[in-house]
C-alpha cells in the first residue's frame, strides 16, 4: 500500500501513464512517463520529477512523493527506472559567450547547470572563443562517450555545430563531402539548443517559445525530432550545409552588408538591410530545378518557408523568363522510370533565389513548422517594382500564408536545384579562381562569397536530430 500525503492510494503503470488513485478511484496524479525527468528513492520514500506543459508552451518542473514499505518502494522504483531509458546521461556543451547580448554563460549558469546536475548528467563544457571553433572541435571529438550535443547561443552556433557534426559523420563513413550528388549519412547524435541569441528561430520552431528553461527540460526528456538540411556546392567543393535559409542574391547582399557593421551588434540586422533593399541588384541567371521522384512527392499542401535576417522595420511584373525543357538524351531516357517529369530551367533576370530547410505548413489558419518534409521549396523572385517587393517581404516577415502568392515569385517543389550565373567573368590567378564581380550567398546568417559561376543545392532528408518536440 502506498501513501500520498495522508491518503492511502493505489499506483498503476499502464499504457505509458503513471496513475495515483484512491480506493474510490479518485485520480490524484496522472502523468505520462515520457514527461518524467527522474525518480529519486530514499528509505521508504519515492520522489518523481516530471515536467508540466503550460498553455503558452513553456515547461515547468514539478515533483510529488509517495511513501510505502521498503520492498514496495524498491519495486516501483525499478519499474519506473526501466521505463526512463533514452534520457541523456552524458553531453558535450558548447557555449558562445558573445551570442545575442553576450549572455550565453549567464543563461547556462542561471538556468541550465542546476537542472543538469539534478538529473545527474555528465557534462563536458567548452566555451568557444572564435567563429567555426565548434566545427573544428567536432572533427576529432570522441563522440562515442556522449549522448548528444548542446549549444548555448543562437542559430549561428547551432549551424556551426551542425556543420561540424554532419561533416564528421561523413568522414567516419567515408562519404565524399565535395561530391554534390552524394547522399549523406544521417547523424544519430541529437543536438539541443539552449537559446541565448538574438533570433533563436529554430528553438521557436521546436518548442513554440524562446524560454531557456523549457529548452533544457526538453533536452533532459530526451525526445528527438528529425530535421532536413541542404548542401551547397560550387566548383566541386562543399561550401556549407544549411539548416534554416539559403539565400542567393538579395539576402546574400544583405548579409554581406551587415558584416561590414559588426560593431553595431545585433541591431545591424534591423537597420542595414533597409539600405540593401533600396540598392537591390538584378542577377542574370539560369536556374535548373531537379524534380521529385514519384515516391518523394508529398500530398498537396500550402508550404511556407520563413526568411530570416529581415529588418524588423519592413512593412513586402514577374520578368518574362524563357522556360526550357532539357532535350532528352539516352541517359535521360534511362532515368525516366524514377523521375516523374523533365528538369525545368528558368533563365532571366532575378533578385533572389531562396530555399528553406525547415518549412512551415498552414494549419487551422496559422503556420506550423514541418521538419521532415519530402521536398525542398525554392522561391525565385523575378523583376518587380520596389513597392511590390517591399509588400511581399512584409508578408514574409509577418508569416502570412499568402506571402509567396505574387506573380513575380515562382515556387518549385524540388529535390535540389542549380544556379548558373550568366555572362559572369572568371579570373584565374595561378591555381585560384575569382569571379570578377561579387556574388554572395546567405547560409544561415553566414555570408559566403562565390568564386565559381555555378552552385548546386541538394536536399538531405532527416539528416540531423534535435532534442525537442514539435510546438503544435
Residue pLDDT, tens place only, 359-384: 877 776 666 778 988 999 999 999 99
CA 106 to chain centroid: 24
pLDDT attached to residue 376: 93
Cα(445)–Cα(246) distance, rounded to whole angstroms?
9
pLDDT attached to residue 241: 97
Cα(141)–Cα(187) distance, rounded to whole angstroms?
15
Return the higher-pLDDT residue of 351 and 264.
Answer: 351
Mean pLDDT of 43-59: 92
pLDDT attached to residue 426: 84
pLDDT attached to residue 2: 93
Pairing of strands 90-95, 122-127: parallel
Q: What three-state secondary structure class fits 206?
A: helix
**97-106 pLDDT per residue, tens:** 988 788 999 9
pLDDT attached to residue 42: 87
Whether the Cβ atoms of residue 86 and residue 54 lie closer than 8 Å to each other: no
Residue 264 has pLDDT above 70, yes or no: yes
CATH 2.60.200.40 applies to domain 230-330+339-460: yes
| Lowest-pLDDT range of 67-81, 163-177, 282-296 | 282-296
Residue 311 has pLDDT above 60, yes or no: no
Return the higher-pLDDT residue of 372 and 216.
Answer: 216
pLDDT attached to residue 296: 58
Mean pLDDT of 222-232: 95
Residue 265 has pLDDT above 90, yes or no: no
Looking at domain 90-222, its CATH class is alpha beta
H-assigned helices in 228-314: 250-259, 268-278
Alpha-carbon separation of residue 26 from 9, 21, 30, 73, 92 (angstroms): 9, 5, 11, 22, 44
Residue 42: CB atoms within 10 A of its CB come to 9
**117-135 pLDDT per residue, tens:** 999 999 999 999 998 899 9
Cα(246)–Cα(378) distance, rounded to whole angstroms?
10
Cα(67)–Cα(343) distance, rounded to whole angstroms?
68
Mean pLDDT of 393-413: 89
Whether the Cβ atoms of residue 382 and residue 349 lie closer than 8 Å to each other: yes
As a whole number of angstroms, the longest Cα–Cα distance in the chain is 86
pLDDT attached to residue 324: 42
CB neighbour burial string for 426-454, b if at least 16 within 10 angstroms, e if fewer: eeeeeeeeebeeebbbbbbbbbbebbbbb
pLDDT band of 260, cuts 50, 70, 90: confident
pLDDT attached to residue 127: 97
pLDDT attached to residue 281: 94
Return the higher-pLDDT residue of 320 and 226.
Answer: 226
Domain-by-domain residue ranges, the chain?
Answer: 2-83, 90-222, 230-330+339-460
Q: Do domains 90-222 and 230-330+339-460 have the same CATH topology?
A: no
Return the higher-pLDDT residue of 325 and 451.
Answer: 451
Alpha-carbon separation of residue 24 from 14, 18, 20, 68, 247 (angstroms): 19, 17, 12, 19, 62
CATH 2.40.37.10 applies to domain 2-83: no
Residue 86 has pLDDT above 80, yes or no: yes
| Lowest-pLDDT range of 29-43, 180-194, 363-377, 444-458 | 363-377
For the chain, what percent of residues have pLDDT higher than 90?
Answer: 65
Pairing of strands 440-443, 245-249: antiparallel
DSSP bridge pairs for 269: none
Cα(419)–Cα(284) distance, rounded to whole angstroms?
10
pLDDT band of 38, cuts 50, 70, 90: very high
pLDDT attached to residue 339: 42
Q: What is the pTM of this model?
A: 0.86
Residue 293 has pLDDT above 60, yes or no: yes
Q: Which helix (H) or strand (E) holds 83?
A: helix 70-83
Residue 7 has pLDDT above 60, yes or no: yes
pLDDT attached to residue 336: 37
Amino acid at each position: 500500500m502506498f501513501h500520498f500525503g495522508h491518503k492511502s492510494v493505489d499506483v498503476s503503470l499502464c499504457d505509458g501513464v503513471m496513475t495515483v488513485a484512491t480506493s474510490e478511484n479518485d485520480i490524484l496524479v496522472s502523468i505520462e512517463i515520457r514527461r518524467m525527468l527522474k525518480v529519486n528513492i530514499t528509505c521508504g520514500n519515492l520522489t518523481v520529477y516530471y515536467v508540466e506543459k503550460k498553455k503558452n508552451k513553456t515547461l515547468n518542473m514539478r515533483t510529488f512523493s509517495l511513501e510505502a514499505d521498503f520492498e514496495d518502494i524498491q519495486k516501483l522504483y525499478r519499474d519506473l527506472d526501466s521505463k526512463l531509458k533514452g534520457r541523456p546521461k552524458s553531453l558535450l556543451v558548447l557555449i558562445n559567450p558573445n551570442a545575442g547580448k553576450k549572455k550565453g554563460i549567464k543563461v547556462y549558469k542561471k538556468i541550465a547547470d542546476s537542472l543538469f546536475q539534478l538529473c545527474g548528467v555528465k557534462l563536458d563544457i567548452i566555451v568557444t572563443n572564435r567563429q567555426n571553433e565548434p566545427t573544428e572541435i567536432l572533427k576529432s571529438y570522441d563522440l562515442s562517450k556522449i549522448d548528444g550535443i548542446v549549444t548555448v547561443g543562437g542559430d549561428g552556433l547551432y549551424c556551426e555545430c551542425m556543420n561540424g557534426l554532419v561533416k564528421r559523420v561523413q568522414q567516419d563513413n567515408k562519404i565524399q563531402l565535395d561530391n554534390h550528388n552524394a547522399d549523406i549519412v544521417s547523424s544519430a547524435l541529437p543536438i539541443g539548443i539552449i537559446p541565448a541569441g538574438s533570433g533563436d528561430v529554430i528553438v521557436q520552431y521546436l518548442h513554440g517559445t524562446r524560454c531557456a528553461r523549457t529548452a533544457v527540460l526538453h533536452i533532459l526528456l530526451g525526445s528527438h525530432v528529425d530535421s532536413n538540411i541542404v548542401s551547397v556546392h560550387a566548383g566541386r567543393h562543399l561550401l556549407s550545409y544549411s539548416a534554416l535559409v539559403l539565400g542567393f542574391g538579395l539576402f546574400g547582399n544583405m548579409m554581406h552588408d551587415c558584416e561590414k557593421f559588426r560593431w553595431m551588434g545585433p541591431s545591424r540586422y534591423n537597420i542595414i538591410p533597409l539600405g540593401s533593399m533600396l540598392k537591390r541588384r538584378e542577377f542574370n541567371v539560369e536556374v535548373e530545378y531537379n524534380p521529385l521522384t514519384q515516391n518523394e512527392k508529398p500530398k498537396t499542401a500550402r508550404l511556407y518557408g520563413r526568411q530570416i535576417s529581415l529588418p524588423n522595420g519592413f512593412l513586402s511584373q514577374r520578368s518574362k523568363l524563357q522556360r526550357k525543357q532539357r532535350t532528352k538524351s539516352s541517359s535521360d531516357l534511362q532515368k525516366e522510370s524514377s523521375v516523374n517529369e523533365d528538369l525545368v530551367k528558368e533563365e532571366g533576370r532575378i533578385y533572389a533565389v531562396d530555399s528553406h530547410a525547415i518549412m512551415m505548413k498552414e494549419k487551422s489558419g496559422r503556420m506550423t513548422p514541418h521538419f521532415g518534409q519530402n521536398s525542398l521549396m525554392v522561391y525565385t523572385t523575378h523583376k518587380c517594382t520596389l513597392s511590390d517587393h517591399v509588400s511581399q517581404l512584409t508578408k514574409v516577415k509577418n508569416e502570412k500564408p499568402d506571402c509567396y502568392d505574387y506573380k513575380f515569385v515562382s515556387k518549385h517543389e524540388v529535390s535540389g536545384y542549380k544556379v548558373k550565373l550568366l555572362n559572369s567573368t572568371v579570373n584565374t590567378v595561378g591555381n585560384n579562381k575569382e569571379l570578377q564581380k561579387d556574388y554572395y550567398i546567405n547560409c544561415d546568417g553566414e555570408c559566403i562569397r562565390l568564386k565559381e559561376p555555378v552552385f548546386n543545392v541538394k536536399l538531405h532528408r532527416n539528416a540531423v536530430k534535435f532534442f525537442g518536440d514539435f510546438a503544435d
